Homo-oligomer: A and B are copies of this chain.
C-alpha cells in the first residue's frame, strides 16, 4: 500500500490535449495539491500539457513510475495493464468504467485483468472508480477537477464503493469542517478490496477514525476480524438494503446484497458503528474527534428551554442519565443568575444569563464533577453581537474538554451566514440539534464500552454449494443434533398403521403423530401433524385420517410416520443456522411459533458465538420475559439453552456440508430440566 499512497512518481495513462480531457484533470489536481513526486503523462496522440510532454506509450517513459493511473476505454485497459507489468509498474489505479457493473462482457475483461496481475504481481484499485486521495502528500487522483479549498487535512479516512459518495463526503465534510486524511474510491474492487484498504488504515498513523461506504461486503468475516483488531472507531454506511436498490447497486458496483439484519448484527458484534446517511456519518465522525464518553452520566446545559427539553428527551432515548449536580455547583451558578428566574436542575437552563464567559465557567465546573461523564452544551447564537464571544466560548470548551478528557457536544443554531463563519473559524465539532448530537454521543459510549472479542475463525464466508442440495432425513438431522449435545424427544419411525400403534404403546401416551416426507415441506398446514394424542382410540382415528390425506405418497414409499412422545410443557424456541453470502455461517434464535412469524422476534449472530454472546441473544429478544418466568410461570432452563446455543453455533463450521439447519421447536423446560428437540430440518450438499 505504501507504493500506492506514497509513490515517488506517477504516470497518468489516457491524457490528451483535448479540452475537458479527464486525465488532464488528474495532472492538474496533483499540481494544485502540490504532489511531491514526479508526474508523467501518457496518451496515444502525444502532445504537451503545461511543461509536461505526453508520451505516446508507456515504454517511452524515461523512468519507471511507482504508480500508474489508467483512464482509457475499458477494452484497452488489459493491454495497458500488461505493459505496466512489463515495465515493472506494480501499483495501478484503474478509473475506467464499463466493466462487470455494466455488462457481461465487462466481466470477461475483468478476468483478463486478474490474469495479468497474477502474472506480474500487480495490485490495483478499481476498476470503475475515481481513485484515491492522500492529503499527506497531495496525491489527488480523481478525474474531476479538485481544489485544496475543498478539504481540510485531518484524521478521518474514508473508503467508498461509490465515487459519488467520496465527492458527497468531501462536500459534506467541508460543510461540517471534518478534517480528511485519505480517501479511497474502490469501484468494483476485483483486486484490492475494502478489507485491504481497511487493514492499511488501521495501522496508518495519519488516520484516527475510519468511514466506510459499502453496497455489498466481499468478505464479512475478514471485515469483522479487522474491526475487532483495532481501537480506531469505524463508522459504516451500508446501503442497498432492499430489492429495488439491489438492481441499481448491482449495476453500480457489481454488488450482491446479503440480508440486512445479518449485516446489522455482524457489525454490532465487532463494534462497527452502522449509520444510514452521510449526515449521520458526519455526526459520528465529529463526535470521535472528542474525548470518549466512558459512561452514561450526562449534563445538559442550554440557552433555550425548548432545546434542553428536547435534549432531555434525546438523553432518555439514548439511555443517558441526567445526573444530579452537587449543591456547591448549583450555589455557584445561582449566585450569578441575574433575575433569579432559573431553576437549578440538570438540564440547566441558562437562558437568563447573557455572559458567555460564565457559560464556560459552568461547563468547567460541571466537567469537574466526578459523576459527570460528558456534557451537552446548547447555544443559541445572536447574530452580529456575539461572534467573538461565541468563538471564545468554543475555544474555552475545546480546552476544557481536552483537560478533563470528557466529551462536550456543542450544539449551536445561528443564521445562515454566521453559521458558516463560526464553522470556518474553529475545528471544534459543532452540532445542530441535541437529537443528533446525543445519538452520536451514544456511539462514542458504545466505542468506549465495546468489549474486545476472540477473533473469528478464518473460513470462506461465501461458501458455494455446487452439488445438489437435499433435505436430510429426520434421523440424520436428529443424529447431528444429538451429537452436538441436544436431547431429542423420544420418537420412532413407522411404516404403517400397525407399527404406529405399537410404537405409541411402547413410547407411552400422549404422543404426537407426524408425516415424514421430503415431498411435504409445510407439514402442519398440510394436516401432517397431530399432537397431544391421548390414547390408542384417538390415535387409531388420526392415523387413518392422515394416511388418507397422503395416499399417493405412502403408495410410492415416499412417506413414513413419525410417532413422538409428547415433551413436557415448556417454552418453545427456534434455533436456526445458515450460510450468509457476506458473513458466512450465522445463527438465529427466537421464540417459536407465531412469535417468530408475526413479531419477527429473533436475534442473529455471526457464528460461532461465546457463552456471553449466547446469553445476550437470549436476553435481547422482546419475549425474553417468557423464559425468565412470566406471570407466575416457573423460570425456564436458560442455562441449558445458553450452552446449547453455543454448541449449535459451531455445527455449520465443523460440518461444512450442511447448508442450513433449523430446530423448530426446541422446548425449554423448567430450570434444571434442560431442553428437548421436537422437530428439526436440515439441508445438506
Which residues of A does B touch, CB under 8 Å?
73, 97-98, 102, 144-145, 147, 149-150, 160-165, 167-168, 170-172, 174-175, 177, 213, 215, 239-245, 247-249, 251-253, 276-279, 302-313, 315-317, 322, 339-341, 343, 345, 347, 349, 351, 380-385, 413-417, 419-420, 423-424, 432-433, 435-436, 524-525, 594, 597-599, 601, 622-623, 625-626, 630-632
Interface centre among A313, A599, A623, A632, by most B CB within 10 Å? A313
CB closest chain-B residue, reference A106: B341
Given A168-B304, A248-B305, A248-B349, output 12 extra A-B contacts at Cβ < 8 Å. A160-B306, A164-B380, A165-B306, A171-B380, A175-B415, A175-B416, A175-B419, A242-B316, A276-B435, A524-B632, A525-B631, A599-B601
Contact B168 A245 (CB under 8 A): no
**Cross-chain contact A423 with B413 (CB below 8 angstroms):** no
Q: How far is the CB of A239 from chain B (nearest CB, A)?
A: 5
A247 to B309, CA, bound (A): 9
User: For residue A593, which residue of chain B has the nearest CB?
Assistant: B631
Which residues of chain B have C-beta atoms less than 8 A from A311's C-beta?
Answer: 245
Q: Which residues of B contact A381 (CB under 8 A)?
A: 171
Give the top 3 A-B pairs by smallest Cβ distance, nearest first. A164-B304, A162-B306, A245-B312
How far apart are the CA atoms of A415 and B180 in the complex, in Å?
14
CB pair B415–A345 under 8 Å, yes or no, is: no
CB<8 Å pairs between A and B, sample of 15 = A102-B341, A163-B304, A164-B380, A172-B413, A215-B306, A215-B309, A239-B313, A248-B349, A252-B349, A253-B305, A420-B420, A594-B623, A594-B630, A598-B622, A599-B623
Closest to A384 in B: B147
**Which residue of chain B is the closest to A315 with respect to CB atoms?**
B244
A439 to chain B, nearest CB (A): 10
Contact yes or no, A316 B432, CB < 8 A: no
CB neighbours (8 Å) of A419 from chain B are 171, 175
CB-CB under 8 A from A172, the residues of chain B are: 413, 432
The chain B residue sitting closest to A435, CB to CB, is B277
A415 contacts across to B, CB distance below 8 A: 149-150, 170-171, 174-175
Residue of B nearest to A414 (CB): B171
- Residues B432 and A279 in contact, CB atoms below 8 Å apart: yes
Residues of chain B within 8 A of A345, CB atoms compared: 247-248, 251
Shortest distance from the beta carbon of A51 to any chain B beta carbon, whole Å = 24
Enumerate chain B residues within 8 angstroms of A177, measured Cβ to Cβ: 416
Task: Choose one: B248, B384, B594, B599; the contact of A308 (CB below 8 Å).
Answer: B248
Residues on B with beta carbons closer than 8 Å to the beta carbon of A253: 305
Pick the residue among B277, B317, B349, B623 that contacts A310 (CB under 8 A). B277
Query: Given that A239-B309, A306-B239, A415-B149 are known contacts, is A168 also in contact with B380, CB under 8 Å in the complex?
Result: yes
In the complex, which residue of chain B has the Cβ closest to the Cβ of A418? Answer: B171
Of A175, A322, A436, chain B has the most CB atoms within 10 Å of the CB of: A175
Tell me if B433 and A279 are in contact (CB < 8 A): yes
Q: How far is the CA of A302 from the CA of B312 in the complex (A)?
A: 38
Enumerate chain B residues within 8 angstroms of A599, measured Cβ to Cβ.
Answer: 599, 601, 622-623
Contact assessment for A310 and B239 in the assembled complex, using a CB-CB cutoff below 8 Å: yes
A307 and B164 contact, CB distance less than 8 A = yes
| CB atoms of A305 and B349 under 8 A apart | no
A458 vs B405: C-alpha distance in the bound complex, in angstroms? 57
> Is B171 within 8 A of A413, CB to CB?
yes
Question: Closest residue to A213 on the B side, CB-wise?
Answer: B306
Q: Are A339 and B145 in contact (CB under 8 A)?
A: no
User: Is there an interface contact between A309 and B249, defined as CB atoms closer than 8 Å?
Assistant: yes
A55 and B610 CA atoms in complex are apart in Å by 80
Measured CA separation A177–B416 after assembly (Å): 9
* Chain B residues with CB under 8 A of A598: 622-623, 625-626, 630
Distance in angstroms from A418 CB to nearest chain B CB is: 9
Q: For the complex, give the distance between the alpha carbons of A249 and B243 in Å.
A: 44
Find chain B residues with CB under 8 A from A175 CB. 415-416, 419
A185's closest neighbor in chain B, by CB? B306
Instruction: Name the residue of chain B whose CB is nearest to the CB of A432.
Output: B279
Closest-by-CB residue of B relative to A302 is B164
Task: Tell me whether B312 and A242 are in contact (CB under 8 A).
Answer: yes
Do residues A382 and B304 form an inter-chain contact, with CB atoms below 8 A?
A: no
Asked if B245 contacts A313 (CB within 8 A), the reply is yes
- Chain B residues near A312 (CB-CB < 8 A): 242, 244-245, 247-249
Is A164 a contact of B251 with CB atoms below 8 Å?
A: no
State how many angstroms separate the Cβ of A616 from the closest Cβ of chain B: 18
* Contact between chains at B168 and A413 (CB < 8 Å): yes
Residues of B within 8 A of A215 (CB): 306, 309
- Does the CB pair A343–B102 fall under 8 Å? yes
Q: Which among B145, B306, B349 is the interface contact of A382 at CB below 8 angstroms? A: B145
Contact between chains at B413 and A244 (CB < 8 Å): no
Smallest CB separation, A369 vs chain B (Å): 17
Known: A171-B413, A598-B630. A165 touches B307 (CB 8 A): yes
Chain B residues closer than 8 Å to A305, beta-carbon distance:
162-164, 248-249, 251-253
The answer for the CA separation of A330 and B3 in the assembled complex, in Å, is: 44
* Cβ contact within 8 Å between A309 and B248: yes
* Set of chain B residues within 8 Å of A241, measured between Cβ atoms: 313, 316
The closest CB in chain B to the CB of A128 belongs to B341
Residues of B within 8 A of A417 (CB): 420
- Complex CA distance for A410 and B579, rounded to whole angstroms: 40
CB distance from A424 to the nearest CB of B (A): 7
Nearest CB in chain B: distance from A646 CB, A: 25
A599 CB to closest chain B CB (Å) equals 6
Residue of chain B at shortest CB distance from A303: B164
Known pairs A162-B309, A171-B380, A420-B420; A626 contacts B252 (CB<8 A): no
A248 B347 Cβ-Cβ under 8 A: yes
A632 to B594, CA, bound (A): 12
Which chain B residue lies CB-closest to A417?
A: B420
Asked whether, in the complex, the Cβ of B416 is within 8 Å of the Cβ of A424, the reply is: yes
Residue from B98, B251, B383, B626 in contact with A150 in the complex, judged by beta carbons closer than 8 Å? B383
| Nearest B residue (CB) for A167 | B380
- Chain B neighbourhood of A243, CB < 8 A: 316
Chain B, residue nearest A252 (CB): B305
B162 to A304, Cβ gap below 8 A? Answer: yes
CB contacts (< 8 Å) of A597 on chain B: these are 625, 630-631
